Structure 1
Amino acid sequence: MKNSLADFTEVKNTQPFDKKEFISEMLVKEDVADRQHSRRNKSIDVWSKTIVTLVMTVLVVVMNWYVVDMVNNVINQEIELIKSKVMLASERSITTGVFMALIGGTVAEVSALFFIIVKSIFKTEP
């Protein structure tokens, strides 16, 4: 059986391999750019974060108000239908499960908003 490496010969008197550091050079350039970007005017940064926080808070309030108003309208319509004996009380669409889902969704929404705002305001600097 012939050795599979028998046809190869060892190369002698070769130049040492010069390894290029492309990735580390690129990371250094990105780090310098990030540091220059983070040193910009801090007062503009504070105002922009404050505006974003206020806008997101108002957006959450408006969205939750809309959902609560919609559920309130459906409940009032169902109560009128039950009073006029057009619908049975057991056929209501707004049940305890719907209320629990709305409460859970609101808690999740506020928690996510709180997390996003805290992460944007208290950003860790390298």
Structure 2
Amino acid sequence: MPAPRWLARANRVGLNRVVRFVAPWLPGFGLLIHRGRRSGRQFRTPVNLFRRRDGFVFALTYGADADWVRNVVAAGGCEVLTRRTRYTLTDPQVYVDEERADMPLPVRRILGIVRVSEFLYLRIAP
């Protein structure tokens, strides 16, 4: 069960405006750079991310219907700025994993408490 929509709106208006300045520097965070599927406008969304050998996994705490997820899937990819490095990401795959196996143990437990089981995987473009 994803977090409530009102919380997503509150984060977009408040917390995200501050976090987007520090997200590219902090471990486990990044700044997702994507285009609106209708407006074509560029957005910068702070996200939690987890590095995998050939890409990144994002826990979809607001579900697969979040605007940024729909934008990335519609575009077939995006860019992410994390740990002072910019990556081009492609081949978005939304999947459900009730066990949260792709997450580190402490994160797995927290996501289990809030019942997050949807994830987005993006491969680093060659």
Rg larger in structure: 1
Where is the strand percentage greater, Structure 1 or Structure 2? 2
TM-score, normalised with respect to structure 2: 0.18
TM-score, normalised with respect to structure 1: 0.18
